[in-house]
């Protein structure tokens, strides 16, 4: 395990124990990594979006500090951060849709980190609906996809966050990716 991982894990455990100073030190350690992940995700957002990576990280941070989680690892932390970023982006897309009702959809390019599957353009609300459907019959595959798409975690990091082996993560990722690709095809009916 790298020193960086050990430091993050130690800070997370200290934060869980109630040390607010550890929470603040943790953010200084993980801030650049969170911002890079947010920026990578936002590059796939629709053209002209107004949310910046810094704002996404700050909003996610505000939600993270309110969490009552027994932090165990760096992967778990980035997994929860990925969930927060997903919720923020979905909430913004829903609000934009409600405000405009013009049918203009926010475009999100869904690709895996290794770029091993063809790029799929999907509305973030369609992606969220597809992930919700996936969760109904396989919550772990949904969590893995969320960690990959929204958290930018590698398969090893995502597997660690979910407590599964790399081989299992690879199998689950292949299945989830195939299922989502099918669900997000343009000929499918858009979400309700």
Distance, in Å, from the CA atom of 114 to the CA atom of 105, rounded to the nearest integer, reads: 26
**In the structure, what pLDDT confidence band is assigned to residue 190 with cuts at 50, 70 and 90?**
low
How far is Cα 170 from Cα 186, in angstroms, rounded to an integer? 26
CA angle 30, 34, 39 (to 5 degrees): 150
Question: Is the pLDDT score of 117 beyond 50?
Answer: no
The H or E element that residue 110 is part of is strand 107-110
Supply the pLDDT for residue 120: 43
Distance between CA atoms of residues 163 and 90, nearest Å: 27
CB 174 within 8 A of CB 129: no
CB 147 within 8 A of CB 74: no
Q: How do residues 121-153 score in pLDDT, each as one tens digit?
A: 567 788 888 899 999 999 999 999 988 888 778
pLDDT above 60 (res 110): no
Predicted local confidence at residue 38, as pLDDT? 84
Confidence of residue 167 (pLDDT cuts 50, 70, 90): very high
Provide the residue ranges of all domains of the chain, joining segments of one domain with +.
3-183
pLDDT tens digits for range 6-56: 588 888 888 888 888 888 888 888 888 888 888 877 777 766 667 788 888
Distance of CA 162 to the CA centre of its chain: 14
């Amino acid at each position: 395990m790298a020193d960086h991982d050990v430091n993050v894990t130690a800070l997370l455990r200290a934060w869980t124990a109630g040390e607010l100073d550890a929470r603040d030190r943790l953010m200084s350690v993980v801030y650049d990594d969170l911002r890079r992940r947010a920026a990578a995700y936002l590059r796939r957002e629709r053209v002209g979006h107004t949310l910046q990576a810094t704002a996404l990280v700050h909003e996610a941070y505000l939600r993270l500090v309110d969490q009552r989680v027994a932090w165990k690892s760096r992967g778990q932390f980035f997994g929860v951060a990925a969930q927060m970023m997903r919720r923020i982006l979905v909430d913004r897309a829903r609000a934009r849709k409600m405000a405009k009702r013009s049918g203009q959809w926010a475009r999100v390019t869904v690709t895996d980190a290794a770029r091993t599957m063809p790029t799929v353009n999907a509305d973030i609300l369609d992606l969220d609906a597809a992930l919700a459907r996936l969760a109904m019959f396989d919550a772990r595959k949904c969590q893995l996809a969320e960690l990959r798409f929204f958290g930018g975690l590698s398969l090893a990091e995502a597997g660690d966050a979910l407590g599964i082996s790399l081989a299992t993560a690879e199998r689950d990722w292949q299945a989830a990716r195939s299922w989502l690709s099918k669900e997000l095809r343009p000929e499918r009916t858009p979400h309700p």
